[in-house]
Amino acid sequence: MAKSSGKDKENSFRDSLLGKEIPVLTLDNKWYKLLGEVGRENVKPLELQLNELLKRQGKINSETKEIKKIKKRYMEEIVTLVDAASNGDASAEKKVADNKRIVEDCNRKLEEYEDEIVDIPREINEVNRKLMLVTMEHCYETMQDNTDDIEELDEWLTSVRIELKKNLIRKQEKEAKNHQIYSYMHDIFGPEVVELFDLRYNPEEHHPMTKAELEKKKENEQPPNTN
């Protein structure tokens, strides 16, 4: 079966992600376990880019929240000072003017962040989807490579099992032959002569019935006790 091209796989992966909410990968510990250190080397640029965007988003959100708190506090002070300032209280007028400048600075900073507040989530989503595609590609290739190895190992194991079975049968046949020869020699020449042979592979030790049979034979061959 012909393998799909990289572009075909990428399109398939992209289509499979349509309409799906994708968690931010670098915030998910399972993603790190999925790729491991070796796999992450292939996606390092996207990982770093995504983390930088997340860091920037966190900073903007934090600073925006703080700026809004400051703006609210100074606007509340303006409300409390407005009557005194309108009655000619110079100190109140100066305080109102100072507070208005601070509020204007807050508004300017909030405006500067407006575009980023809208754009960063979109950029995070875009980079995260790219990272997901690269991750899926890596996992697909890893599993394909593993499958090739599994099939090759399965063939090897099948071959080894067949060869093992053949050799086991050969071993059993040779053990049976040794047992037969040993039994005949024992019957013909007697145990004393057989013991003179330097047997590296003693049938008594390797054939389950040999020792019991020979013990029985020895008992039968002993002369009866006349006492």
For residues 197 and 134, the model is more confident at: 134
Cβ contact 178:203 at 8 Å: yes
For residues 197 and 131, the model is more confident at: 131
Determine the straight-line distance between the first and last CA of the chain, rounded to whole angstroms. Answer: 87
User: Is pLDDT above 80 for 17?
Assistant: no
3-state secondary structure of 223: coil
| pLDDT at residue number 42 | 76
pLDDT category of residue 221 using cuts at 50, 70 and 90: low
pLDDT category of residue 155 using cuts at 50, 70 and 90: very high
Burial label, 194 (beta-carbon count in 10 A; 0-12, 13-18, 19+)? middle
| pLDDT at residue number 2 | 47
> What would the pLDDT profile of 53-64 be if each residue is shown by its tens digit?
999 999 999 999
37, containing H or E segment: helix 29-41
| pLDDT at residue number 79 | 87
User: Is pLDDT above 80 for 11?
Assistant: no
Domain assignments of the chain as residue spans, ordered by start? 41-164, 165-219
26 is written with which tokens? 């670098």
pLDDT category of residue 1 using cuts at 50, 70 and 90: very low
Q: What's the whole-number mean pLDDT along residues 104-122?
A: 92
> What would the pLDDT profile of 29-62 be if each residue is shown by its tens digit?
999 888 876 667 778 899 999 999 999 999 999 9
Cα-flanking dihedrals φ and ψ of residue 224, to 5°? -65, 150
Burial label, 185 (beta-carbon count in 10 A; 0-12, 13-18, 19+)? middle
Torsion 28-30-34-38 (CA) sign: positive
Cβ contact 95:75 at 8 Å: no
Mean pLDDT, the chain, rounded, equals: 82
User: Is pLDDT above 70 for 3?
Assistant: no
For residues 215 and 103, the model is more confident at: 103
Q: Position 127: which residue type?
A: V
Torsion 165-167-173-176 (CA) sign: negative
User: Is pLDDT above 90 for 159?
Assistant: yes
Q: Percentage of residues in the chain with pLDDT exceeding 90?
A: 39
> What would the pLDDT profile of 71-99 be if each residue is shown by its tens digit?
999 999 888 888 887 777 788 888 888 98
